Amino acid sequence: MLGAEPLDLPSPLDDLVHQLADNRRGHAVAGHTDNHPWLFPGGAPGRPITAAHLMTRLHPLGIQARVARRTVLMDLAAQLPPFVLSKLLGIHIGTATNWAH
């Protein structure tokens, strides 16, 4: 599930995500960290990992999250009408239009 929507992942990614979900743990020093909906739990109980912390964890693995994010956003902009993209991502219609060109 991604929010309330089912998400169909291709193999072998689906197995990896299931393993991650089965073994996820929060990193909070205090508070209950086991009962949460987050695939990547953060340091505060009941909160997801921050984007900055996730980027810090991915960098030593050779994954440049900013580059990947930008690539995905531009790919979406090429496939979706600007209005749909602006609503989907919560960005200004002008920004979505600029990305589409």
| Same domain, residue pair 42 and 59 | no
Instruction: Assess contact for 77 and 85: CB atoms under 8 A.
Output: yes
Length of the chain: 101
pLDDT grade for 33, boundaries at 50, 70 and 90:
low
Look at residue 83 and tell me if it is in a domain. Answer: yes
Task: Note whether 25 and 59 are same-domain residues.
Answer: no
Q: Is the pLDDT of residue 72 over 80?
A: yes
Token pair for 58: 């991915």
The model's pTM: 0.56
Based on the domain organization, do 26 and 56 belong to the same domain?
no
Report pLDDT digits (tens) over 55-65.
998 999 998 88
Residue 34 structural domain: 13-48
Any domain includes 6: no
Short-list 13, 30, 32, CA closest to 21: 13
With left for phi above 0 and alpha for psi between -120 and 50, is residue 90 left, alpha or beta?
Answer: left
Same domain? For 36 and 77 the reply is: no
What is the distance between the alpha carbons of residues 3 and 89, in angstroms, rounded to a whole number?
Answer: 14
Question: Does 42 fall in a domain?
Answer: yes
What is the DSSP secondary structure assignment for residue 23, as one 8-state letter? T
82 & 55 share domain:
yes
Q: Three-state SS for 5? A: strand
Residue 59: Cβ within 10 Å count: 11
Residues 66 and 89 both lie in one domain = yes
